[in-house]
Structures are given as structure tokens and as C-alpha cells.
Amino acid sequence: MALRAALRAKSGLSGFLPQLSPCSSHGRVCVSPILIAQRRNSSTKIKVDFDQNTGVAVMHMQSPPVNSLSLDFLTELCIGVEKLEMDKGCRGLIITSNQPKVFSAGLDILEMYGKSPERCGEFWKAVQEMWLKIYSSNMVTIAAINGSSPAGGCLLAITCDYRIMADNPRFTIGLNETQLGIVAPFWFKDTMVNTVGHRNTEMALELGLLYSPSEALKIGLVDQLVPEDQVLTTAMQTMTKWLAIPEHARQITKSMMRKPTVDKLTSNREADVQNFVSFITKDSIQKSLCMYLEMLKRKKA
């Protein structure tokens, strides 16, 4: 697996510069009490702060402008989670954003537009890997959602055990893939169903809904709303409550609840990759993605 090879090959948390395609073409070092798992590299997309005293790590997504989930970003994120999992002293992980007003804008469209089937396949394996690592993690995972979180950003949030969102009506969250002409795969759907129930998921996915924080709280898409400047501190306080539960009992219960969903993907990973590649490389889908990219260009202009 190319992704796993990348995970083994990259010794740190530094990433690569994203490869852009124009629309017209088809062992960490400990520093007590805070461990900072970060390369001194401007291309680093993930910064991890680990407090050895509390056993809690904070993962800061910092890939401007909107923390798009590119292949390089996802690889770096997976490495970060894997390193924390291997550290027996790390019991909790908080995921948040260093980018203003956005948690993550979701999957990088440029990874799906104008790329070869092989590249699309590697990208999708990385998306799968990200979900599997976080959704089945033994650590307590909390999403500190300090900005908008559409599509893949929403998926990243709902893989966590608990979600705290900034109470700002300008922020939105949801799986809005159908608005781009894309179909959310079965494991996106299953994660959403496990979070907000079948009917809410059916409405959300078919209509590509994006929810305001208050609407997201109402259906259970997020668990708590707090003022924008209190998201991270509230996540730290909440983590303390989760870590007070006997670890073995919590981990076994989490596995019992999530194992059927995890097993469904792990037993169908290759077929899921092939389905994605076949779908995303269709001319009609590529055209939809091109139109969306052109719309984004016009907004920036």
C-alpha cells in the first residue's frame, strides 16, 4: 500500500506542497511538560502539542487557507495519530484548527479533478485511513470545531467521540456532497446514521444540508456549543471528564459500539476505492467539479 509506505517513510510530521491542477486540464522528541511534535518547516500542515502531565494531545490543523484534506495533509494527519497511539502516555486527542473561521473545508477538490485513476485511488485510501485511525482509536477523541466544517470536514468531526462547536451563526457543518454532484460513500453515511439517526441522515445527505451550530446541536450532529473563544478550553475541561472513566471499560465499550461500522469498511476497502475511482473519473463528475472550481475562482476574484 503506497499510503502505508508513506507512513513508514516519513519520519516526522512535515508535509509536501500540494500539487495543483488547472481547471482547464483533465519517534518524537519530548520537551517536558509539553511535547511539540512539529517539524521546523513552513510546509508542516499538522502541529501536535502533547502535555505529558495530563496525557492529552492537541492536534492543530494549519494548512492554509482552509485545511483542505489533500493526500499530503491526510498522510501527515495519519502519521500524527499513529505516533500518539503508540505513546502509552497519550490518552486523549483534541483536534482543532489554527485557520481562522474554518475547521476544515473538506476533501481537496484538486485531488479529485484532472488526476489519474491511480492518484485518485491513493487519495481515497488516505481518506479511508484517516477515518479508520480516528474512528477506532483507543484514545478519547474530541473535535474542537472552531469554524465551518462542510463535507469531509464534517466527517472528520463526527469520527471523534465528542464534538464542541463555536456558537457562531455564520459557521456551518454537514455532509453536503450532493450539492457538488458527489455521492457520500456508505461509511460516511453509516457514521452519520450512528451520530444523528436514519431520518436526519437521509434528509441531510439527499439535500446536501449544511447546518448552523444551533441546528447541528438540535439534531445531535454536535454535542455542545460554546462561545468562539472558549472552544479549546471547554474541550480540555470535557476531556478531563472522559479520562476519569476507567480506561479499559471505556475502550471496550467504544469498540463494541463502533466495530460493526469499522468492520464494514475494512472488509470492503478495495471495492470502495474502485467504486470511488470509477465514479469520480466520469466525464459528468469531472465537469461538475470543474464548474465548482470555476465558481470558487470567481468568488476569489
Q: What is the pTM of this model?
A: 0.84
Catalytic residue among 35, 107, 132, 289: 107
Set 93, 177, 209, 221: catalytic member: 177
Any catalytic annotation for residue 177?
yes
Residue ranges of the domains in the chain?
2-10+26-231+246-300
3-state secondary structure (DSSP) of residue 102: strand
Least confident of 22-31, 110-119, 230-239: 22-31
pLDDT of residue 181: 82
Residue among 102, 109, 68, 51 nearest 280 (CA)? 109
List the catalytic residue out of 92, 106, 152, 174: 152
Handedness of CA 90, 92, 98, 104 (dihedral sign): positive
Indicate if 152 belongs to the active site.
Answer: yes
Q: Which among 176, 180, 200, 209 is annotated as catalytic? A: 176
158-184 residue pLDDT tens: 999 999 999 999 999 999 999 888 889
The DSSP H or E segment spanning 9 is helix 2-9
How many beta carbons lie within 10 A of that of residue 233, not counting itself?
12
Q: Does the annotation mark 107 as catalytic?
A: yes
Q: Contact 231/145 with Cβ under 8 angstroms?
A: yes
- Class of domain 2-10+26-231+246-300 (CATH, top level): alpha beta
Q: What band does 293 get if pLDDT is binned at 50, 70 and 90? A: confident
Express each pLDDT in 43-72 by its tens digit.
699 999 999 999 999 999 999 999 999 999
| Residue 15 in this model has a pLDDT that exceeds 50 | no
Q: What is the pLDDT of residue 27?
A: 36
65 prior amide bond cis, ω within 30 = yes
Round to whole Å and give the CA distance between 9 and 7: 6
pLDDT tens by residue, 64-104? 999 999 999 999 999 999 999 999 999 999 999 999 999 99
Cα(42)–Cα(39) distance, rounded to whole angstroms?
8
**Annotation marks residue 168 as catalytic:** no
Determine the average pLDDT of the residues in 242-265. 97
Q: Which residues contact 105 (CB under 8 A, 6 or more apart)?
A: 66, 67, 68, 148, 150, 151, 153
